Structure 1
């Protein structure tokens, strides 16, 4: 796109927001509401799309906003938030105020605080789909494992039931299904999202890639699940079990082989799940085994490669699990990576 296009778009958005919000601000001031609340509304109107990019990159949402520079803020956002908090102390039933506070905390990368504010919205408006999706999204960011389950999953299911064309809701619901190995359901959910997108957009392409990955995991395509892309990374991992621990492995336990970024979020960039009885085993980790389109093997230069036998079948490490690792390796490594599971968590 030409710079002139972005400038013209920015001018049109600014004029539209001014025509809409300035009269509301004047009316609100006449009613005695604090100035900071309305200034904060303006800040969020411009800053929320920018904050969404960072949030989506972290949990795996397609991104279409590129090259947008954050505009300088006329006043301190912390001051505006403080005024809004003061207002909500005197008007605790102001659902729109709580929603604005939640969205602001999200743009400030304070997911736990945003989740609490969304809770207030839901206590006042139980069917507010924006708050439902926002709660699930910020909860997943606040969690160390970034999984979407429990109340988050229930809220997303309710949100897309009430609003079938909720794009963020459909995307996050598909991520949850993918995280829980329900690959066919994830692909079906993302296919509902596809018609709502511009087919030539970056978002549509990212969704199509993730559908293909889910189909491959579900076994609904003839492709070999572990076949790497011609130009993508492929880490061959050879896993063995220390003789001293063989008696501790029980039938039905799960073997996870994973790679995560040397620096960054703990979410795996690639993960394979096998029956622990398959040991010794060889696994090839590729981009197709990532949990989200953005967080995949090729997004990092160096990765920590590990293996764990989970007694519970859950990906989160628990006391008593057996584990081992190969340390940090280059993501482009072609030599076999050897791991001996020789420790008890």
Structure 2
């Protein structure tokens, strides 16, 4: 009965989406836009309700421990992206098409392609704040140190001037300022973000924690009345990583193992990362403040972190198709018990 209810709910959502999307598709086709653009939009629209229900069933029911079958929608998305690229080759002035391509590549963790697509948007509209933020974020992901500087920082500064309500823009600009030891400016930027957040949300708590760290450093490490002193004991997470027997035949000489922790609510760059030869598996590593990508962003700067492991075929930290992955989900940074990760899926 419960499953039937969710299926009916999904059907109703899909039906509602069809009423909205189909007229838009017909209008777009009359304007000469390729079907790949709409296929991509429809895939996202249909996947949202199905993914929400699948996530609930996966997390909310014990049977999920036996594994949840994956939807084979990757090929459809790839085909839609290819058709959109073909369309853009024929109509390079289609700003909305480039924006959709950039956002899609961002979701697919293809930072280089995303940055290139956003760059096309900015050539067509130099004041597009969304593209500015997208370009800056993609650029930081392509850097080994994940720093936001140069053109990326300039674009973020312009983006928040154009749209002072840009949450992602304010967050990333604050990170850039923090990376450049501009702690007072970083705290002020993040305070602009606070009124837009639900005070009880994890995002708001994460922002407040970063403001506290920035203000503490701006005061030479001393706490202020508005910024309580942080815990002096530095966190240390012990992570035990194993490779699922079903994937052992995919392990090859030269593969690199990355074990990392990133903020549950915050920047995508790791707060701590360990790198080693994947041949060392099974392995146990300890993540701590001395293993951050930058001196400013450390494990102790977050209260909860996502802990994962990846076997990279390219040797690069950025995920690529064919990499092997696993994770332990979100963990409190003050956890003292060993954390277990089984690398059991292919990216």
TM class by smaller structure: 0.5 to 0.7
Render the CA deviation track for 1:100-156: whole Å, top value 9, x for unaligned: 111111111100001000010000011111111110111111111111111111111
After TM superposition, give the deviation of residue 32 of structure 1 in Å.
4.4
1:210/1:292 contact within 8 Å kept: no
> What is the match of residue 259 of structure 2?
263
User: Structure 1 126/47 Cα, relative in aligned 2: closer, same or farther at 3 Å?
Assistant: farther
- Is 1:35 the counterpart of 2:31? The answer is no
> What is the match of residue 341 of structure 2?
none
Distance 2:261 2:7 in 1: 35
Unaligned stretches of 5+ residues in structure 2: 50-57, 61-67, 238-256, 263-268, 273-287, 309-333, 337-347
Distance 2:5 2:125 in 1: 39
Matches within 5 A, 1:101-116: 101-116=101-116
Figure out how many residues of one structure are paired with residues of the other and give that number. 255
> What is the match of residue 126 of structure 2?
126
- Is 1:198 the counterpart of 2:198? The answer is yes
Task: Give the structure with higher Rg (CA).
Answer: 1
Unaligned stretches of 5+ residues in structure 1: 50-65, 236-260, 271-283, 303-330, 334-345
Distance 2:4 2:136 in 1: 38
- SS of residue in 2 equivalent to 1:223: coil
- Is 1:20 the counterpart of 2:20? The answer is yes
Matches within 5 A, 1:1-345: 14-44=14-44, 73=73, 76-219=76-219, 222-223=222-223, 229=231, 233=235, 263-264=259-260, 269=271, 285=289, 291=297, 299=305
- SS of residue in 1 equivalent to 2:259: coil
Distance 2:4 2:141 in 1: 36
Distance 2:23 2:307 in 1: 51
Distance 2:182 2:6 in 1: 41
TM-score using structure 2 length: 0.59
Higher deviation after alignment, 30-39 or 8-17:
8-17
TM-align CA RMSD:
4.7
- SS of residue in 2 equivalent to 1:263: strand
After TM superposition, give the deviation of residue 25 of structure 1 in Å.
0.8
User: Structure 1 165/229 Cα, relative in aligned 2: closer, same or farther at 3 Å?
Assistant: same
After TM superposition, give the deviation of residue 167 of structure 1 in Å.
0.5
Render the CA deviation track for 1:39-84: whole Å, top value 9, x for unaligned: 11223457799xxxxxxxxxxxxxxxx9699876386211111110
User: Structure 1 67/155 Cα, relative in aligned 2: closer, same or farther at 3 Å?
Assistant: farther
Distance 1:104 1:46 in 2: 15
> What is the match of residue 337 of structure 1?
none
- SS of residue in 1 equivalent to 2:181: coil
2:177/2:183 contact within 8 Å kept: yes
User: Structure 1 298/265 Cα, relative in aligned 2: closer, same or farther at 3 Å?
Assistant: closer
TM-score using structure 1 length: 0.60
1:44/1:104 contact within 8 Å kept: no
User: Structure 1 228/294 Cα, relative in aligned 2: closer, same or farther at 3 Å?
Assistant: closer
User: Structure 1 17/122 Cα, relative in aligned 2: closer, same or farther at 3 Å?
Assistant: farther
1:167/1:193 contact within 8 Å kept: yes
Q: Which structure would you say has the larger RCO, counting Cα contacts within 8 Å and 6 or more residues apart?
A: 1
Render the CA deviation track for 1:260-294: whole Å, top value 9, x for unaligned: x9624896737xxxxxxxxxxxxx95899751789
Distance 2:116 2:180 in 1: 25
